[in-house]
A and B are shown apart, each in its own frame.
Chain A
Amino acid sequence: MKKEIIVFVCLSLFLISCVSTDSSSNTEKWRSGTQGIVMSFVQNNPPSEVVSRSDVTVLLEYSNKGAAITNPRFYLTGFDSTILPFRNTVVSVGNLAGKDNYNSIGSQPGFVKWETGINMNSLREVDSFKQYLSVTACYGYQTIAAPIICVDSQKYDYAAPARCDFSIKDLGSSQGAPVAVTEVKQKATTDEMFIEIHVDNKGSGTPYLTGDCLKLGYDQIDQLSIAEVTMSGKRFQCAPSNIRLVNGKGYAICSLKINNANTYYETPLTIRLSYNYRDTMPRKEITIINVDKK
């Protein structure tokens, strides 16, 4: 009987430990992934072949798979507006929440519909011709990383015993946004702390800060802003405040005055990056078959 009780207690402990591990990982996991707004054409909308008498319907399915709230705009482009006179080619869909503590998937899918007839103009003799449709999404986004760092002003004091681990914890490789904080390095003097923040554009689009989304110049793209870096309620000074990405990667160095106290502690560091993001779907080819041929 005693043996059975021991086995039962052991099993119970094992199960409890499993459950607690799972729940902790869930709370952290939601701020991961490299997606922001994802979109695709609904199957056969637009169709790959359409006859000249019928309408062309474009149905876009989108959702926010990242961890920030955003207000995306969708631009329908690539076609000749004299042939396919779509109305309202720019659609703003309002605020779209992403993943959070209670939702690790992202927003529900939403849909944008464009519809138009085909204006054949002087193309009455043509057998068939092609048009292309593409959608570009532009949206403001944020990357929030919250790694744990060790603050120790006497890190380089050889006389002092090693007190906490200086490796950055819980950063992960992505934070639920197309631009990810990939690495944080820290250095500390007796009265100032420096951190080096490395970022990487892991999405398929282009980050930018200002400008017309569809007409960006080379001086406007691959930029993002360090909105804030804080630790224990104190704000770091970062240089540069706007990071310029080269080959999709960039970094900034942030500093913060600390007290030269004989103390050490681990604390969360909050890094918030802010940027606009532009992503374009591969174009869809549609063949318009002229059934009213002269």
Chain B
Amino acid sequence: MRTRYFLILVALVFLAACSTGSKDSDLEKEIYKGTTGVVVSFFGNNIGDEVFEGEQLNLPIKFENKGAYDVTNSKLVVAAEKGFMNFPGGSNIYQKSGIKLNGKNVFVTFDDFHIEELNLQVNKLSPLSEYHDSLVIVNFCYDYKNMAFTEVCIDTDPHNQRVSDKTCSQIDSIGLSGGQGGPVVINRIETRMLVFDNAIRPQFKIYISNTGKGTVISPNKIDSVCSQDSVGQQTYNSLKLTALDMSGYTLQNFECLPSELVLYRDEDFITCTLKSGISRDKQPYITPLKVELSYGYMDSAAKEIKINKILRV
């Protein structure tokens, strides 16, 4: 009887192990989804909501990379209200560079995060104040990117001049809903096959928008934006197309206009046309198209802290 129970138990354990194994083996195939990048938040619900003058405040801030891409170049600037709170060293500005956050891959799908603990010295209030509401503002600037993958039909007979059983026909507009794992998203790509002699030149009109709450900044300009320096207007809302790969052709093979896109409408676009042609002797085929955008992004968070006076009777 005991042996029978033991065998049943072993069988159950074996079955349980099998089912767990199959679940784990599912690879996450869609990493480049979503419209969020790094999210900045004050850690904990009520930490530091209310303090007394003269106290030392420990304020943890969480940086969570909810997007798909690595953060390797970043800058953090925290500003406290001058005269009311200081960081160690006496300044009301705290700066830190080089916070790194991993993106996602097939095997790692959780959101990487970093917690920065800030020590603030709360100053004494003026004798006439009973309390003071003071703001702590956090700006986090980071270089980020966007990669979109889709399939395009290289239709070598876009006007159907030949009678052939085509594998595919030109699709006028390819929708890319759901984002690509970053706040700047490619909404859709319009394709056109321009016919020149016995060749076609594929043209892609890439529609881009900022769906996040933060500000888009020029790539590699985060140091100047997250600082006290003055910043040129062209640094804001500006991004670059850094890769366009299709069927062995790269960005250098395309003529793209504008070279640096400034976002000033709900949706803006870059138009890229292949410089050389693809022979019309080839049969139509479907191929993956990779589009990569590079930009900087600034996300902010603010916290109101009530500084109370210690009343002495």
- A interface, CB within 8 angstroms of B: 75, 77-83, 121-123, 125-132, 134, 136, 206, 214-218, 220-221, 278, 280, 283, 289, 291, 293
Contacts and interface: CB of A to CB of B under 8 A. Distances in A.
A82 B29 contact: no
Nearest to A289: B29
Given A122-B290, A126-B149, A127-B149, A216 B30 contact: no
B29 A126 contact: no
A121 B283 contact: no
B162 A215 contact: yes
A122 to B, nearest CB: 4
B290 A126 contact: yes
A132 B105 CA distance: 26
Contacts of B287: 80, 82-83, 131
Given A82-B247, A121-B248, A217-B163, A127 B288 contact: no
B283 A214 contact: yes
B164 to A, nearest CB: 6
Contacts, number: 86
Given A77-B285, A125-B290, A221-B163, A82 B106 contact: no
Given A129-B151, A132-B168, A134-B167, A123 B247 contact: no
Contact of B283 (A78, A216, A293): A78
Interface string B177-217: 00000000000000000000000000000000000000000
A132 B284 CA distance: 11
Contacts of A80: 154, 247, 285-288
Contact of A78 (B27, B105, B149, B167): B167
A284 B124 CA distance: 75
A89 to B, nearest CB: 9
The secondary structure that dominates the A interface is loop
Given A83-B288, A130-B288, A289-B29, 14 more contacts: A75-B283, A77-B285, A78-B167, A79-B286, A83-B247, A83-B287, A122-B245, A122-B250, A125-B149, A125-B290, A131-B286, A132-B285, A216-B162, A216-B164
A75 B30 CA distance: 34
Nearest to A291: B106
Interface of B: 27, 29-32, 105-106, 147, 149, 151, 154, 161-165, 167-168, 243, 245, 247-248, 250, 281, 283-288, 290
Nearest to B105: A293
B286 A122 contact: no
B243 A129 contact: no
Contacts of B30: 127
Contact of A280 (B32, B165, B243, B250): B165
Contacts of B286: 78-80, 130-132
A134 B164 CA distance: 12
A99 B31 CA distance: 55
Nearest to B153: A132
Contacts of B167: 77-78, 132, 134, 283
B165 A217 contact: no
A90 to B, nearest CB: 11
A214 B164 contact: yes
Contacts of A136: 165
Contacts of A75: 283
Given A216-B163, A283-B167, A129 B149 contact: yes
The 5 lowest CB-CB distance pairs between A and B, nearest first, are A78-B167, A280-B165, A80-B287, A82-B248, A129-B288
30 contacts: A75-B283, A78-B167, A82-B247, A82-B287, A122-B245, A122-B250, A122-B290, A123-B245, A125-B147, A125-B149, A125-B290, A126-B149, A126-B290, A127-B149, A129-B151, A131-B286, A131-B287, A132-B285, A134-B165, A134-B167, A206-B163, A214-B283, A216-B164, A217-B161, A217-B162, A218-B163, A220-B163, A278-B165, A283-B167, A289-B29
Nearest to A80: B287
Nearest to A89: B283
Residue with the greatest number of chain A CB neighbours at <10 A, chosen from B30, B151, B287, B290 = B287
A283 B250 CA distance: 28
A216 B283 CA distance: 12
A129 B148 CA distance: 12
Nearest to A281: B165
A275 to B, nearest CB: 15
- Residue with the highest number of chain B CB atoms closer than 10 Å, among A82, A127, A128, A283: A127
